[in-house]
Structure 1
Amino acid sequence: MDPASLPEQLSVVNEQVLNSSGRAVTAAVCLRRFLCYGSESATYSTKACPLGMENALSLMQFIEGGRGCEVVEEIRRLNLEGRAARPNPSLFALAVCSQHADCKTRQAALRALKELCRAPVQLFTFVQYKKELKEGSGMWGRALRRAVTDWYNSQDGMSLARAVTKCKHRAGWSHQDLLRLSHMKPTNDAVALVCKYITKGWKGVQEAYGDKEISDDLQKVFGYLEAVEKAKHSTDDEQELIHLIEEQRLEKEQVLTNHLKSKEVWKALIKEMPVVVLLKHLGKLTADKVLAPGSPDVAAVCERIQDETALKKAKTQPFSVLVASENYKRGHGKRSKLKWEPDRDIVQALDCAFCKTISTVEPTGKRFLVAVDVSSSLSSVTHGSSISTVAVAAAMCMVFAKTELNTQIVVFSEGSVLPCTVSSDMTLVQVAAQLIQTPGGSTDCALPITWASENEKTVDVFIIFTNNQTLGRENPADTLKTYRQKTGLFSKLIVCGMIANSLSIADPEDRGMLDICGFDSQAVDVIRNFALDVI
């Protein structure tokens, strides 16, 4: 498509979001797919593709068509609404916009920087993308220097101190690099103190502030940085380190690796450890006897894992809890030699947390048919998740059954489709048992759509989970089109090949079809966006 014709042929990007009734894959749809998961195609893969101009053609069409500011606003909107399944595509697109020839596009992109780059890792990633995209000329012009300076100056002192001591460098950049290249000039005393720490180290801070009368706010920042420095050098006094961790809420990244050999240090860290981080370390904590069976530490951890308010605040997805639970129940690391005996109380707490996070999922209001292919064993390991395909299928059946009122769940194989009841009081084990008790056979992914048509089921979104890539006698894409003609609905189709490296079921010209290769927590976001016509 000629970029110059975009203003006449397409409405603005935000209007495209509202007007999603068309079946064709428009440039706006491709743009939102790219911003969501890094590809314009109708295939989401758990293995992310390298980002480059060659897979962001729609992005360039809009920018070259004089609509760069709209693109920046779309980047901003999707991220603030939590629609971006992966963060890096948006940062890449923002970097592209930030160095385009159009002055207004550049300005809009750099204004959005401090809002979208909430953590240092995102800022470092953005700067690295700009470096990779630059063509011969230096990238550190006045506009970028001002944007980076604004990022640091927009932080409060304590938040900035925590951020720079937790993440010192990433993607080939450090805070020291950015302060030097941006000619950073702090606009308040707290930021100035942290910048002094970055550029001159703790010794420089002591020399500049050690003997001065400073405000309470500055004293808090000074005390925090002092605690971080003491923790680095507290090699002999374990009690002092524990006191520093508890008093200043230091995190794992701010203590030495050698400190993590201590059970007592771990016990201090897990008191304030973010729930998502805690879930990832349960196996190690059990293996190292930090969490001893029946101990108060186990009871405290179980209480935190099941804290619905904390889970909701951390935006913890059911699938993330499922992965942590299944990995913990396995009793050994995926690649490491670490082994542990799963604690029964922790296992129960994880099961409870999984159910509680389901209750926080917002329904889409769509009518779903979730179909699980049982023609082959569901014991395979899911690509991208390291857990069994039956666990993935069972978990997603539970999520849809409990959050979407109009959901029909079926299993299918060898020419047959059988309804599968998933009630609100069922456990993951009970749902999984229903999926694996049905006899196997050959795979035909068109069967669930045919069954819905023959039984006059009204479906907005078909979701098919399969271990196979064999289409069977009929192509599901063709069967879906027949179903649409019969019902008059623009029904959608998602085929999830849980062990597939590639799929080619979705019609690339039809915006109502999506392939998913493997499965992970980001795939859940992609499914939701697809159902809601975001992508």
Structure 2
Amino acid sequence: MEPSGSTTSNHTLNSTGGGCQWEVSNKARLCRFLCYGSEADIYTAREEGRASVENAGALLSILQEGRGAEVVEEIKRFTQDGRAVRLGPSFFALALCSQHSDQKTRKAALKAVREVCRDPAHLFSFIQYKKELKECMQCGIWGRAVRTAVSDWYNEQDAMSLAAAVTKCKQREGWSHQDLFRLSHTKPAKDAIALISKYVTKGWKAVQIAYADRENSEEVVKVLSYLEVVEKVKHSCDETEVINLIEEHNLEREQLLTDHLKSKQVWRALLKEMPLHSVLRILGKMTSNKILEPGSSETQTVCDRIQSETALKKAKIHPFSILLASENYKRGQGYQGKTKWEADSNILKAMDAAFYKSFMNVEPVGKRFVVAVDVSTSLSSVVPGTSISTAVAAAAITMVFARTEADTQVLAYSEGAVVPCSVTADMTLAEATVELVKIPSGSTDCTLPITWASENGKAVDVFILLTNNPLWVFTASPLESLKKHRQTSGANSKLVMCGLTSIGHAIADTEDRGLLSICGFDPGALTVIRNLAQDLI
């Protein structure tokens, strides 16, 4: 029987290497790796380790079977469709494919560089992974095919976009554009790219001399003017001039000097066009530096942007990301350094409004969910790496599903009892939190929600169990309970066990593809759940 809502590619993913649709095939392990950097059935929130050959066994096995083109297609899907929580594993996998002994695999990987590496930081990461793989794969980095792929990456860019990119992100991971132009022997495909190449490799003075008396095309003139502005701002000590250049040419803070960023007026100019993600990330710093003061026009502008439906939709910000930013701002101090601030009440109100508006950015999966909250222990702990209490986190997670998935049942369970909760789409976060914590605590058993669904004749596609305590207690095996539910309901049920305060745990060593553990919680965890629900990992 094929999973509901599955496609041909999903069927392949289920059936490769075994036959049983719940067996964890190499393809499933590869997809987990591309999603969150591990082939195991455990997602750890906010964990950022570098991908390596040691944790990519399934990827290597698939390549040995001559299925490199299939791997490259999966890499493209995960980086382009928003399936990847972390992009590093995809760049690593692409680098591995680009250095594989099979010619077709190498060719497919290098052809995909332009699609997968969408900005300079991605390209630098890809090249660095190639360098790290050089010894263990006993091959060079800069063969003719790689030089062509890197040259094409630069040549196929829009000239003005490339000019902005090379001046915002000059170097990463030990690589610079100068290195890449030189090592790839890039021959510019058009005059405007040739101009950027000269600027990157020879510097601005060489460009001025070379282009002073030329008859230049319209595109070259535009790029030349833009680079002139970037150079002008780098050498300007005049605050008014810097502000004018920022406003006229949409310059960003990466293109300014550190000294410029000591000016409140410069920050105010940057704020006007700053991406919303960046605004949310530095609210505390801007409040601390008095750039955002109570009742000021700048504060009002920021409040308007934060709660603008157009801005939220354009930035595709998830409600859980807004909640994280809001709680961090409310905290009044950074996690590192000595930066402190007094949270502005108007900014907090704007973020509260943005939280509810941003639910429009959550695309429904269209599955049947049970979100069950373990209330056996106090939900007053804090989710590691955040300022959010586990009670508020659990309420926010239930709201994401209650507001966006038509078939969602919210349960609270403890002491042998399961209580359906009336967390509804029109509730506020505070109301949802109260609804969850009003149930008395006691000992817990994580199989109870599955048993409840079976006994009440409710077919469930995905069970999401949220607990403060990562040490699972069972009267029966969760896998056995899940299997029974699959048999009695006919549903292809999956189970996500989420320890909100956990920094590393597992249900058990299982070979069932329908089980997944989550340690802690962050916006990436919701992507992982979504991928599991859609048979993508």
TM-score scaled by length of structure 1 = 0.94
Moved more, 411-420 or 84-93: 411-420
Matched, 1:485 2:487: yes
What corresponds to 2:425 in structure 1? 424
Moved more, 217-226 or 272-281: 217-226
Cα offset for 1:180?
A: 0.8
Q: Is the 8 A contact 1:12 1:70 kept in 2?
A: no
- Encode CA deviations 1:328-386: one digit per residue, 9 max, x unaligned: 12222122322222222211211121112212211111110101112222222213444
Cα offset for 1:88?
A: 0.9
Cα offset for 1:84?
A: 1.6
- For residues 464-503 of structure 1, the aligned pairs below 5 Å read 464-474=465-475, 475-503=477-505
- How many corresponding residue pairs? 524
Amino acid at match of 1:239: T
C-alpha distance in 1, partners of 2:184/2:122? 17
- Encode CA deviations 1:226-275: one digit per residue, 9 max, x unaligned: 2212222222x100000011011111111112221211111000100001
Moved more, 290-299 or 357-366: 290-299
C-alpha distance in 2, partners of 1:431/1:331? 25
C-alpha distance in 2, partners of 1:114/1:531? 30
C-alpha distance in 1, partners of 2:289/2:101? 56
* SS of alignment partner, residue 50 of structure 2: coil
C-alpha distance in 2, partners of 1:106/1:526? 29
C-alpha distance in 2, partners of 1:484/1:402? 26
Classify 1:506/1:384 alpha carbon distance in 2 versus 1 (closer, same or farther; 3 Å).
farther
Cα offset for 1:17?
A: 4.6
* SS of alignment partner, residue 458 of structure 1: coil
What corresponds to 2:324 in structure 1? 323
Matched, 1:161 2:163: yes
Q: Is the 8 A contact 1:477 1:507 kept in 2?
A: no
Cα offset for 1:97?
A: 0.7
C-alpha distance in 2, partners of 1:321/1:440? 30
Cα offset for 1:210?
A: 3.3
What corresponds to 1:127 in structure 2? 127
Matched, 1:16 2:18: no
What corresponds to 2:110 in structure 1? 110
C-alpha distance in 2, partners of 1:448/1:273? 45
C-alpha distance in 2, partners of 1:142/1:290? 51
* SS of alignment partner, residue 257 of structure 1: coil
Amino acid at match of 2:464: I
* SS of alignment partner, residue 359 of structure 1: helix
Cα offset for 1:389?
A: 1.8
What corresponds to 2:67 in structure 1? 67
What corresponds to 1:76 in structure 2? 76
Cα offset for 1:12?
A: 9.5
* SS of alignment partner, residue 369 of structure 1: strand
C-alpha distance in 1, partners of 2:332/2:15? 49
TM-score scaled by length of structure 2 = 0.94
C-alpha distance in 2, partners of 1:342/1:52? 42
Q: Is the 8 A contact 1:161 1:221 kept in 2?
A: yes
Q: Is the 8 A contact 2:50 2:88 kept in 1?
A: no
What corresponds to 1:55 in structure 2? 55
C-alpha distance in 2, partners of 1:430/1:113? 48
Amino acid at match of 1:197: Y
* SS of alignment partner, residue 398 of structure 1: helix
Moved more, 102-111 or 285-294: 285-294
What corresponds to 1:32 in structure 2? 31
Cα offset for 1:422?
A: 1.8
Q: Is the 8 A contact 1:466 1:497 kept in 2?
A: yes
Amino acid at match of 2:235: H
Matched, 1:529 2:531: yes
Amino acid at match of 1:86: R
Cα offset for 1:507?
A: 5.0
C-alpha distance in 2, partners of 1:41/1:18? 16
Shift >4 Å, 4+ stretches: 11-15, 17-21
Amino acid at match of 1:273: M
What corresponds to 1:231 in structure 2? 233
C-alpha distance in 2, partners of 1:102/1:15? 26
Matched residues, percent identical?
58
Q: Is the 8 A contact 2:373 2:412 kept in 1?
A: yes
What corresponds to 1:4 in structure 2? none
C-alpha distance in 1, partners of 2:14/2:80? 17
Moved more, 140-149 or 283-292: 283-292
- Encode CA deviations 1:406-460: one digit per residue, 9 max, x unaligned: 0011112222222221223322122222223332222321221122222222211
C-alpha distance in 2, partners of 1:163/1:364? 35
- Encode CA deviations 1:1-48: one digit per residue, 9 max, x unaligned: xxxxxxxxxx99675258798111112111111111111111111213
- Encode CA deviations 1:291-337: one digit per residue, 9 max, x unaligned: 12222212211221122232222222222111111111222212232
Cα offset for 1:400?
A: 0.3
Moved more, 83-92 or 483-492: 483-492
C-alpha distance in 2, partners of 1:406/1:201? 60
C-alpha distance in 2, partners of 1:390/1:200? 57
- Encode CA deviations 1:454-500: one digit per residue, 9 max, x unaligned: 22222111001111123224232232223223323221100111111
C-alpha distance in 1, partners of 2:371/2:346? 32
C-alpha distance in 2, partners of 1:304/1:73? 37
- For residues 321-400 of structure 1, the aligned pairs below 5 Å read 321-400=322-401
Q: Is the 8 A contact 1:321 1:354 kept in 2?
A: yes
Amino acid at match of 1:308: E
Classify 1:335/1:437 alpha carbon distance in 2 versus 1 (closer, same or farther; 3 Å).
farther
What corresponds to 2:3 in structure 1? none
Amino acid at match of 2:159: G
Amino acid at match of 2:310: T
Cα offset for 1:283?
A: 1.2
* SS of alignment partner, residue 527 of structure 1: helix
C-alpha distance in 2, partners of 1:260/1:424? 43
* SS of alignment partner, residue 295 of structure 2: coil
- For residues 433-512 of structure 1, the aligned pairs below 5 Å read 433-474=434-475, 475-505=477-507, 508-512=510-514
Classify 1:354/1:506 alpha carbon distance in 2 versus 1 (closer, same or farther; 3 Å).
farther
Moved more, 154-163 or 475-484: 475-484
C-alpha distance in 1, partners of 2:197/2:391? 51
* SS of alignment partner, residue 361 of structure 2: coil
C-alpha distance in 2, partners of 1:281/1:49? 25
Cα offset for 1:504?
A: 1.8
Gaps in structure 2 of 5+ consecutive residues: 1-6
